Amino acid sequence: MEPTRSLIAVIKRAWDHAWVTTAHRPINRIAASRLPAILLLTGAPRGGKSTVARILAGCFDRAAHVDIDWVLHQLTVSGDPQVRLALQNTSALAANFHDEGIFAVIEGAVADRESVDYLRAALAPRRLIVAVVGPQADAEHHQITVELSNADIHIDSAGQDPETTATLLLSLILRSASP
């Protein structure tokens, strides 16, 4: 297979994977233009990030859920180069969606400040809202090191269903996006 065709196939798979299903979409969706930012939804593994990301993206008329793990697993390199390339490709995909007026939700267990800073720099001048979501006990157990000073929103979702967490997150990001 030609390198160009191979790259096109990967981009098409990424595009297909990034689009949100319509299962959680409310009847009256929020205009993506109301949120001129990209959201990074992070937290401990198995903390409900993917479910919350899908529900949240479904609240907007135009939205994409970009799963860092999916991008990461498409690569054959390993270690730090794999993580860096996954962050680079994730930020490029999210930026492309954002630039087309589509609300982009980047989701994954981004575990260190350096990775968050990399995403902020790669997405500049676009605004990145960082939200840490999940049961607090899980975050402490897995030692997620996204520092309070680096995250815009923290939600302890212990005892909440994903819809409640997504609703709370939606209200907080809309409030943070208001002038």
pLDDT at position 175 over 90: no
- Give the torsion through C-alpha atoms of 177, 107, 162, 21, to 10 deg: 100
Strands 103-107 and 128-134 turn out to be: unpaired
* Domain residue ranges of the chain, discontinuous segments joined by +: 3-177
pLDDT at position 104 is 96
Confidence tier at 142 by pLDDT (50, 70, 90): low
Model pLDDT for residues 5-29, shown as the tens digit of each residue: 444 444 444 444 444 333 444 456 7
Q: Where are the alpha helices (DSSP H) in the chain?
A: 3-18, 49-57, 68-72, 80-99, 113-123, 136-141, 162-177
DSSP 109: -
As a whole number, mean pLDDT of residues 127-152 equals 69
Confidence tier at 38 by pLDDT (50, 70, 90): very high
Model pLDDT for residues 91-139, shown as the tens digit of each residue: 999 999 999 999 999 999 887 888 999 999 999 999 999 998 887 755 5
CA 16 from centroid of its chain's CA atoms: 16
CATH code given to domain 3-177 = 3.40.50.300
Sheet holding 38-42, edge to edge: 63-67, 103-107, 38-42, 128-134, 153-156
As a whole number, mean pLDDT of residues 66-91 equals 84
